[in-house]
Amino acid sequence: ETGVTQTPRHLVMGMTNKKSLKCEQHLGHNAMYWYKQSAKKPLELMFVYNFKEQTENNSVPSRFSPECPNSSHLFLHLHTLQPEDSALYLCASSQDGTTSGGLGELFFGEGSRLTVL
Amino acid sequence: GEDVEQSLFLSVREGDSSVINCTYTDSSSTYLYWYKQEPGAGLQLLTYIFSNMDMKQDQRLTVLLNKKDKHLSLRIADTQTGDSAIYFCAEREDSNYQLIWGAGTKLIIKP
């Protein structure tokens, strides 16, 4: 099993659809993240879960709803999206999201390319 | 607020050195990073530097840090086609340990 796996790799949805993105990590990490990657823009941190508890929500619209049932799985539920939400959504994990001494290396999945029509 | 800036594109000839530059604003960051994103893939940590270092060398990679000017650079010696990727600069906020990212520099290799 590779480190961080995301499904689906590509998703096309209408503005009224409801869909979900899934992320699974096989690294035994305790923190998981959702990032939004848009062309020519910095990576945008959306949500952070540390030991299954949400510790960061960077003013993300409520049409994005995260779920973290355990330390290995992370979901992003999507509903009533807008065309400007089209982007690459990256999931990442790290050993501990709040470490003070460690390197804090992030391990990323390959991303889910979302297109909203 | 904190900001990390880098050029969007860099084009170099195969075999030449590539220098990717980055400026940041949070002078208290302990770690600064370079991540690499190959086509169709997620990001992968390439190298990093502690804020108390000026330089770090790792095979073909050299990281230079100028804390006074808040400038970070990544030099890739003898650039190869496999180095084609987007290179992201990031600094870590010491307040909440979250990363602040640049927009990424796409390295284009000319034959």
pLDDT digits (tens, 9 = 90+) for B12-65: 999 999 999 999 988 788 899 999 999 989 999 999 999 889 999 999 999 999
> What is the CB neighbour count within 10 angstroms for residue A24?
19
- pLDDT for position A100: 53
- Sort out which chain B residues have CB atoms less than 8 A from A42's CB and list them: 4, 100-104
- pLDDT for position A116: 94
- Sort out which chain A residues have CB atoms less than 8 A from B102's CB and list them: 42
- Average pLDDT on A36-59 reads 88
The span from the CA of A4 to the CA of B75, in Å, is: 29
| CA nearest to B38 within chain A | A110
- pLDDT for position B96: 75
> How many residues comprise chain A?
117
pLDDT above 60: residue A69: yes
| CA nearest to B49 within chain A | A103
- Sort out which chain B residues have CB atoms less than 8 A from A56's CB and list them: 96, 98
Contact A103 B96 (CB under 8 A): no
Distance from chain centroid for Cα B65: 11
Q: Burial of A78 by CB count in 10 Å (0-12 exposed, 13-18 middle, 19+ buried)? A: buried
Amino acid at B60: R
